[in-house]
Amino acid sequence: MAFHGDNGLRAWCNFKGNGTHSFRDSYNFASYTDYANGRYRFHFSTNMPSNNFCAVATATYLIATTRRHRIVSIYRFNTSYVEVVSGYNDTTAQDHEVISVMCADSI
């Protein structure tokens, strides 16, 4: 059972960040903007009630048969979007096979 809405996840996505970018699945994300390698802005369908929400993100890619995890930072956010940067280290942004973003708020 999914728990979303008040006091739960207000938005989440499983995003294909390499090749042809696309949402594999999502809740409350209307669209995205691809700014550069590894930098994406995800626009909410329904805005967050405040700027005090919690956003977390992960990134993975596949080498042969092994999944590797990468650094993801919440770059900026407000009530209408969350922007993330993923990369190999803190200076090199890269596109990744899977970008997952979750946003929660208690209001």
Q: Given this model, what pLDDT does residue 32 score?
A: 97
pTM (2 d.p.)? 0.87
Distance between CA atoms of residues 10 and 20, nearest Å? 26
Instruction: For residue range 37-94, list pLDDT tens digits in order.
Output: 999 999 999 999 999 999 999 998 877 777 777 888 899 999 999 999 988 776 788 8
pLDDT band at 7 (very low <50, low <70, confident <90, very high): low
Distances (CA, A) of 38 to 6, 19, 23, 45, 82: 30, 12, 15, 22, 14
Instruction: For residue range 16-34, list pLDDT tens digits in order.
Output: 998 899 999 999 999 999 9
78 contacts 62 by C-beta, under 8 angstroms: no
